[in-house]
Structure 1
Amino acid sequence: MTKRTKPGKLDAEQLGNIVMPDEPKKKSPRSPSLNLEDALTKAIQLYEANHLHPVANDVAAQSMGYAGANNGASLSTLAALKYYGLVDRVGNGKLAASKDLETFQYAPNSSERTKILRKWLFNPKVFEDIHNKYKGQLPSDAAIKYDLIQMGFIPDKAEICLKTYKSSLEFVNSQAPESDESYLEDEDHSQNISEIKEEPANKSRQLPEPTHSQVRQHPKDDTDRIPVRLQGGRKAWLEIPTPFFKNDKQQLVKQIELLITDDDDGI
């Protein structure tokens, strides 16, 4: 006998066959997945290719080395540039390098460039919230990650956001002039190039730290010349280009280490 159900009602078997739609995936708050140093490198490529002229997203992506604007890597990069304020939306699917980027490129000194870097760092709202909450004293990574999850981030995205923020912060701090004591957060800063010293056995060839007033701007280009006093009243100069990135510093440190490992006192 065929089992009948009342009109408008479903039996248990029919209910079991109903496929419920998947619940929408939870989205984390918007934040850049690219740190500020990497985003700035891409933005400079865009500026050098197009200056401040508005270009289509595809053209912008190609200027930064991507095939187009619709793959995952280029989409993430373009989004990060927008979050930091490195580019401006012009409408009709176009964007342009921001005026701040041009100002940064031609700023006369590191103090001006640092001001712009700090502005970019806190353009993403989540980065501004982290900075405002901790007032210059970062707690443990676990504490920050917990707060990000409370803000609505899923754990994996919270981890990415935390790493992006801290690496961006480290980059901005590394670019600040020596005279700027108002650092952004209380964390271990990278050792300044002018503070690199040899092992005790080579004390006679230490590189003393120059004062801020001794740092000179090269007359021909955007380069800071930092004096280094040597034994016997001699002087050497470090010429630091602008912008000066983390990888540049590491390369320069390696070169100095090669020099100071030479045991020939006549050099």
Structure 2
Amino acid sequence: MGEDATRQRSGGKRPDVQIQVRRILILILVLNLAVALAKAVFGFLAGSASMVADAVHSGFDSFSNVVGITALYFAGKPPDTGHPYGHGKIETLGTQVIGLMLLLTAAGIIYGGVQRLVEPVIPDITVVTVSVMFGTLIINIGVSTYERKKGLEYGSQILVADSRHTQSDVFVSLAVLSGFLAVSLGYPQADPIIALGIGLLIARMGFRVLYEAAEVLVDTMNILCDPELIQMVVMETPGVTGCHEFRCRGKPDEILADIHVTVDPETPV
């Protein structure tokens, strides 16, 4: 009972879980800023347009972390007169912002790819630039994997959505490295073509994040709802003679159920 009460006061998610999720986002924010700075500095020194563009994309990762931290702060506020059911859906709104940022990132990459097709840019590829790209790639793979794992563990939409944003950075970095290889082999046009493909892939991720968040906001039936399990639990309640018409909604970590319950006519309600 104490845990349920604490969850109600925090707007849905337990305070200890919210703290853990915020700590993870702050850690990832620091890593993303370091990655963006490294790509920007060495990309500028090498004269690599694609590497600088990748740095900008990594900067967007940092901004999405800030969005996540801010959304979680407001989502964790207790219910009040204007919001008697808490502020939990603010986390879902933050998830939608990340989805929109993915679409903006995809649009920028596609635009840059088209520009490079029209006006090819051949970067000055060195061991240092390749090493920096490989190093930041490994960091992003680790961050994305860890963030998704913790997001699923804590049932956090923000962490899962942000892990997809970081994963998109992995794809962009792979595109840059593939472009470096193609240029060194004498195929400069391969770089922008790869970038276009990656842009479309990131756009698909963005639409998926927006769709999943929208399903929560419009109270779509939660697929994790198990009517048989709910019926079994309800029927164990003394005085209950039957239950039917199950409706479930909400986030994976916060499922709300509407149920019609019948009781004995002599039972005081």
Same fold (TM over 0.5): no
User: Relative contact order (C-alpha < 8 Å, sep 6+): which is higher?
Assistant: 2
Report the structure, 1 or 2, having the larger helix content.
2
- TM-score normalised per structure 1: 0.25
- TM-score normalised per structure 2: 0.25
